[in-house]
Amino acid sequence: MNEKNTENIDQVILHFIQGNADQEEKATLMNWLNENPENRKKLFKEKDIWNAAEIDSDRLKALENNEWLELEKRINISKVKQGYFKELIKIAAIIVVALGVGWMSHYIYSERASTRKVEMRTVEAIKGQIKEVFLADGTHVWLNAGSQLSFPSDFTEKNREISLRGEAYFEVTSSEKNPFLVKTGNHTVKVTGTKFNICEYPEDKMIETTLVEGKVKIISGNFFKDLYPGEQATFYTETAEVLIGEKDFDIYTAWREGRYEFRNESVDKVFKIMERWWDVEIDYPQDEFKYEYISGVLRKHKPIEQHFEVINELVPINYQVDKDNITVKLK
């Protein structure tokens, strides 16, 4: 990024922190955040320093005055001519403000980080929604419809630990000394810095962890297993059985872009996905659809009726739409 662009992004960050960023600036900020994980760290650090300076501005001024008085005592006025003294005062004032503000920003940020109260927060993507979340360490999370993410407002412990119910895609900020833990019931995914997807809807009775990049460790009871890029671990919650195999991770991460791909998937699971994405209730005889499998793509921006027409070409069905309730039967 050239010097001009750097100045522009600094201005965008300032507007964002102050709550004055417009849609164009927000789009610019999102593109900049995606360029480099370090950019995310910078944003959150700048935000904390800004908040600290804003809250403690009176204390900052008081301490700067004390620094100035201390410096003034050290100047032997009798040895300095009046004109030179005035110039010295100007120079000294610039030095105190430059060093004082920089030192105090670091001081306030460090002090606030050690004393501020850490709170648990919960973000929910209700049916029909997909949400993006940035955690305090810069980790980027996409939360799928019908999912919930619980996390601390700041990571102060040795482990960065969060809880997930539903499905989420993670781009975790790397830290060997401070691993990232995603807990889903008695199932844990341990990460040091990577990209992966976790799908854990209770009604599915299984937890799928698909690794895109880096390395994760699956932990469940006494079971420990490293996962490598292109692999998927499937943990069956009723039997505690774990299966690991190679998968095309694009299929399991495309939902972030509003596209669900499925290959030889049960109609029952496809209906569940449709219920979450379009916030509808689908009434169908599960026993009749138990052995029906299809392949295709769901696109969130298209009407749900269009998808039922496609399903009808693969598995002959009759369906009736009544607002948010859909009744489906085999022909």
State residue 71's pLDDT score.
43
- Who contacts 295 (Cβ-Cβ below 8 Å, separation ≥6)? 262, 263, 264, 265, 314
Q: Regarding beta strands 325-330 and 281-283, do their DSSP bridges make them parallel or antiparallel, or are they unpaired?
A: parallel
Contact 52, 114 (CB under 8 A): no
Reported as a single tens digit per residue, the pLDDT across 150-201 is 999 888 767 789 999 999 999 998 887 888 999 998 789 999 889 999 999 9
- pLDDT mean across residues, the chain: 78
State residue 18's pLDDT score.
61
95-111 mean pLDDT: 46
Q: Which two tokens stand for residue 139?
A: 């980790």
User: Domains (ranges, CATH) in the chain?
Assistant: 3-115 (no CATH), 120-252 (2.60.120.1440), 258-330 (3.55.50.30)
**Enclosing H/E stretch for 44:** helix 37-55
Q: Identity (one letter) of the amino acid at 306?
A: Q
3-state secondary structure 282-314: EECCHHHHCCCEEEEEEECCCCHHHHHHHHHHH
Q: Which two tokens stand for residue 254?
A: 């495309």
- Who contacts 253 (Cβ-Cβ below 8 Å, separation ≥6)? 169, 197, 210, 212
User: Is the per-residue pLDDT at 63 higher than 50?
Assistant: no
Nearest partner of 139 among 161, 117, 167, judged by Cα: 161
Nearest partner of 331 among 321, 316, 320, judged by Cα: 316
State residue 64's pLDDT score.
42
If pLDDT is split at 50, 70 and 90, which confidence band does 24 have?
Answer: confident
Reported as a single tens digit per residue, the pLDDT across 142-156 is 999 999 999 998 887
Q: Provide the percentage of residues in the chain whose pLDDT is more than 90.
A: 43
State residue 32's pLDDT score.
82
97-106 mean pLDDT: 46
Reported as a single tens digit per residue, the pLDDT across 277-308 is 999 999 999 888 988 999 999 998 899 999 99
12-40 mean pLDDT: 75
State residue 62's pLDDT score.
47
**Among the ranges given (89-103, 167-181, 247-261), the one the predictor scored with the smallest mean pLDDT:** 89-103
pLDDT top residue among 114 and 121? 121
Cβ–Cβ contacts within 10 Å for residue 289, how many?
A: 19
H-state helical runs in 56-146: 57-74, 82-115
pLDDT top residue among 104 and 133? 133
User: Is the per-residue pLDDT at 29 higher than 90?
Assistant: no
* 246 φ, ψ (degrees, to nearest 5): -80, 140
